[in-house]
Structure 1
Amino acid sequence: MIRTDRKYNQKKADDRTARIAAMEQERDELVDRMFDHPELCTEENIRRVNYLSSQVEIMRGKMIYNVNINY
């Protein structure tokens, strides 16, 4: 009888907490830099902050609040 090691079949559950923490940290660092240096408040950076915020809320299963930027 041949025994096989079936450890390769074990799947790890998707743990979102690490990804949520990384996204929150990136968002907070970007917001801090934008607050300290107003010239970094470009449309691209604002979109990135909104994207990170919405992804964190989606991953937590909460509602998303859209913010319109009127120039």
Structure 2
Amino acid sequence: HKGLSPVARAIFLVLALLIILAIVSVIFTPAIMRSVDKNRATLAPQPSATASPSLGDAIQNMVKQRITDELQK
């Protein structure tokens, strides 16, 4: 028994990265949302309640952006 197979190791690595990403996104989402709302208020004076995405949408967008950035490296 030589330990974990490469496939199992890759799965654990991906799961660990997703957990870390989730923790980081939960920590930084309020600050990011505040800065996005500030930028949106200066760019277009429209009601931010209808324009701002929900927390789930924001996290999904962050995850998509991180995945895209990683794939482009």
Task: Name the structure where helix makes up a greater proportion of residues.
Answer: 2
TM normalised by structure 2 equals 0.34
Structure showing greater relative contact order (alpha-carbon pairs closer than 8 Å, 6 or more residues apart)? 2
TM normalised by structure 1 equals 0.34
